[in-house]
């Protein structure tokens, strides 16, 4: 399996890498969290730009990405989570792609989160543009109400890889212990054939074990909170780090 290497962080090797989401609304809040996160035990930062109050102002995100990257000093993933997949701002697909294209052209960051079920042609163009700029692509899908079947989860992860993802990510909502097992089984089976790293999680308290056991089942990264969470089930980053170290296989 290929790994994704950014500076001294290798995704797809060893213990799951810890990602802290930045969900500030103002530039001052975002930079303050980035500074604190940069000094924490995390491996990467995710800037959730759908929370940023000025995300729709032309070139503002691209400009601020340079400051975030500089102040945190760690690999930076940028994500606009669409409203239909759990984000906080409802915009058109056209605006989603406009923001991302400006970011790729004018911003500074390492990885871009792109949703699998956005329009196929535009997604393909974004992936190609990212790769031409040396930016890694995280193709993703989020189900906030249910857990699809094991075959469906595996098929979506397989589709992401076929479309050119450097990392394939899926997050699902469990309604029972069986749902958590479905996600873990799908991750483990897909890992046997996947040629790129996977990030998978079962959300909420019920699925919290999936955020801790990635080294066993095949998820290469996990999200820990530094204050406000970006999804249900994220635990404080220091607690997450301690548990992952305890569960380390070797």
Instruction: Please tell me what DSSP assigns to residue 85.
Output: G
Contacts of 129 (CB under 8 A, 6+ apart): 101, 104
Task: Let me know: does 135 contact 106? Beta carbons within 8 Å.
Answer: no
Q: Say which residue the tokens 């790129």 belong to.
A: 196
Task: Let me know: does 68 contact 38? Beta carbons within 8 Å.
Answer: no
Q: Which candidate in 17, 74, 150, 169 is catalytic? A: 169
Residue 131 annotated among the catalytic residues of the structure: no
Q: Which candidate in 142, 145, 150, 248 is catalytic? A: 142
E-strand stretches of the chain: 4-6, 9-11, 17-22, 44-48, 76-79, 111-115, 136-143, 167-172, 198-202, 221-225, 235-236
Beta bridge partners of 141: 170
Residue 84 annotated among the catalytic residues of the structure: no
DSSP letter string, 91-104 = --HHHHHHHHHHHH
The residue count of the chain comes to 250
**Antiparallel, parallel or unpaired: β 44-48 and 17-22:** parallel
Please list the active-site residues. Answer: 142, 169
């Amino acid at each position: 399996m290929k790994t994704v290497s950014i500076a001294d962080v290798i995704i797809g090797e060893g213990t799951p890498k810890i990602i802290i989401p930045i969900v500030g609304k103002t530039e001052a809040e975002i930079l303050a969290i980035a500074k604190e996160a940069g000094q924490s035990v995390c491996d990467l930062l995710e800037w959730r730009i759908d929370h940023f109050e000025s995300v729709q102002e032309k070139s503002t995100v691209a400009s601020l990405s340079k400051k975030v990257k500089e102040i945190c000093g760690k690999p930076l993933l940028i994500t606009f989570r669409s409203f239909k997949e759990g984000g906080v701002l409802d915009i058109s697909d056209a605006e989603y792609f406009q923001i991302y294209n400006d970011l790729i052209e004018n911003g500074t960051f390492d990885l871009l989160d792109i949703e699998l079920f956005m329009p196929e042609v535009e997604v393909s163009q974004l992936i190609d543009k990212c790769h031409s700029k040396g930016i890694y692509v995280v193709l993703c899908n989020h189900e906030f109400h249910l857990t699809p079947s094991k075959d469906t989860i595996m098929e979506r992860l397989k589709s992401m890889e076929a479309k050119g993802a450097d990392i394939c990510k899926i997050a699902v909502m469990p309604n029972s212990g069986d749902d958590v097992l479905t996600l873990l089984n799908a991750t483990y089976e897909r890992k046997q054939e996947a040629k790129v790293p996977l990030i998978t999680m079962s959300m909420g308290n019920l699925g919290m074990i999936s955020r801790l056991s990635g080294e066993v089942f095949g998820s290469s990264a996990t999200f820990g909170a530094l204050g406000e969470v970006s999804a249900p089930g994220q635990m404080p980053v220091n607690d997450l780090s301690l548990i992952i170290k305890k569960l380390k296989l070797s």
